[in-house]
Chain A
């Protein structure tokens, strides 16, 4: 299995530009998570999808952030317009959830975003 795939791995953009991050979860997983990691705040959950449906987006910092999951094998996280404080590493993770059973999350390699 290729694991969780994210693209791009690095993104440098200027303030005000639109940024789109992409994720392909592990085949067979039905849960997808977007996280942001910074030195100051550590790993923070932004949004959680289950069976392609957004369940909890309370971690999305502002309306500038949006996420979609059009099918089971693809998700995007968009920032528009981007700001320097959005600079961070963004991770996508996937897992399998069945009823009340809890399963481990597998993380992708991350996208390092730098907003100038």
Chain B
């Protein structure tokens, strides 16, 4: 009963390094999302994918790229990490219907030094 799986759970990077965060869901959901959450703050949408083959920018896309590899997998890439990208990153997925809620992975805690 995995749901949404994120890897890695923790990562420390140096400024300028690149890294890809992985997300996979086994609920046959069409839509997938990447959020970041800074301490004491709400969720902010980085990118989303409404269906396989499509991706769109969210509220804070700068410094990130995404790939919807297939229906199950949606990755987030930091090409040149900056300290301002230190955050907790959550992946989520949902079905196609408006009535369906999002389900979240347990997050990747990323620190950039």
Query: Do A and B come from the same complex?
Result: no
User: Residues of A with Cβ closer than 8 Å to B?
Assistant: none
